């Protein structure tokens, strides 16, 4: 089956915006709404560390868990691979490793933490090393899925070699045509399934998935794939189009829109 014919599944980035007790309730609620995966951002100092949070989430509900996404410069490849394999083991194979080269502004955080500021090439090498070590830790009886966040041609080329799924990093001005072209070039090498990073639903911007100055009207004007209509029927039509155009079968939204998108999940999940 090609990625464009694969069934839909839906993930939710669920940061701890309030108390841990309320977050635990949110984990259970998202699972009850039919979402397949609960995801945590990787923002040191603003959120609990992804690893412990996801281990807790997996113990609370029968749901997959994952990172959206680990920033490769923040940890040595050996540490990150060990942590990813450990999460895969502790969750009985319900962990997805989302990994990328880091969000804008990460260099300042690296300096603050006393970590080296890696070049783009060094960051990709770190991802490659992490995945290679993860496969060694997993051995023949475990395969931890890897989702790579990519944009440039070198990142897409590496993803075509080592990733189980990709998500395209979109700027506010990224148009549908630009993302379709990236997907076409990637799938010409290998038909890698695509995860659609939806940072805005209607006019609601998801925390930790887009900048606070994100303008939904600007995304709509650019015909961006990072925004989804709040109307369920229109959202279903848009996602079916995305599956056809870029092979998107995994849709990731923010927890602030989980209720809005729930009717879409009920209609499309598994179809």
Q: Determine the structural domain holding residue 194 and report its residue range.
A: 3-268
The reported pTM is 0.95
Q: Are 201 and 260 in contact (CB under 8 A)?
A: yes
Residue 4 pLDDT: 57
Of 42, 94, 41, 31, give the one whose Cα is nearest residue 65.
94
Domain count across the chain:
1
CA–CA dist 68, 148 (Å, integer): 10
Per-residue pLDDT of the chain (271 residues; tens, 9 = 90+): 456 568 999 999 999 988 999 999 999 999 999 999 999 999 888 889 999 999 999 999 999 999 999 999 999 999 999 999 999 999 999 999 999 999 878 888 889 989 899 999 999 999 999 999 999 999 999 999 999 999 999 999 999 999 999 999 998 889 999 999 999 999 999 999 999 999 999 999 999 999 888 999 999 999 999 999 999 999 999 999 999 999 999 999 999 999 999 999 999 998 8
CATH number of the domain that residue 149 is part of: 3.20.20.30
Q: Are 22 and 6 in contact (CB under 8 A)?
A: no
Residue 2 pLDDT: 56
Give the burial string for 50-88 (b: 16+ CB within 10 Å, else e): bbebbeebbebbebbbbbbbbbbbbbebeebbbbbbebb
CA–CA dist 133, 85 (Å, integer): 9
């Amino acid at each position: 089956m090609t990625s464009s014919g694969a069934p839909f599944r839906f993930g939710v980035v669920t940061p701890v915006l309030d108390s841990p007790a309320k977050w635990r309730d949110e984990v259970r609620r998202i699972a009850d709404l039919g979402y397949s995966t609960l995801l945590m951002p990787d923002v040191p100092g603003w959120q609990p560390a992804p690893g412990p949070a996801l281990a807790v989430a997996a113990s609370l509900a029968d749901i997959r868990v994952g990172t959206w996404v680990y920033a490769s410069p923040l940890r040595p490849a050996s540490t990150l691979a060990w942590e990813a394999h450990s999460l895969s083991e502790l969750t009985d194979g319900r962990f997805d490793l989302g990994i990328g080269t880091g969000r804008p502004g990460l260099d300042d955080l690296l300096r603050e933490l006393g970590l080296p500021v890696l070049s783009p090439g060094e960051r990709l090498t770190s991802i490659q090393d992490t995945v290679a070590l993860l496969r060694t830790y997993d051995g023949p009886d475990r395969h931890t899925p890897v989702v790579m966040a990519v944009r440039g041609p070198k990142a897409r080329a590496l993803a075509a070699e080592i990733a189980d799924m990709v998500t395209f990093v979109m700027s506010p001005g990224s148009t549908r045509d630009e993302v379709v072209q990236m997907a076409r070039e990637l799938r010409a090498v290998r038909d890698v399934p695509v995860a659609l990073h939806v940072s805005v639903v209607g006019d609601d911007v998801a925390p930790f998935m887009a900048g606070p100055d994100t303008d939904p009207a600007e995304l709509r004007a650019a015909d961006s794939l990072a925004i989804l209509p709040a109307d369920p029927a229109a959202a279903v039509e848009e996602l079916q189009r995305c599956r056809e155009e870029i092979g998107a079968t995994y849709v990731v939204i923010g927890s602030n829109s989980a209720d809005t998108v729930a009717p879409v999940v009920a209609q499309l999940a598994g179809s």
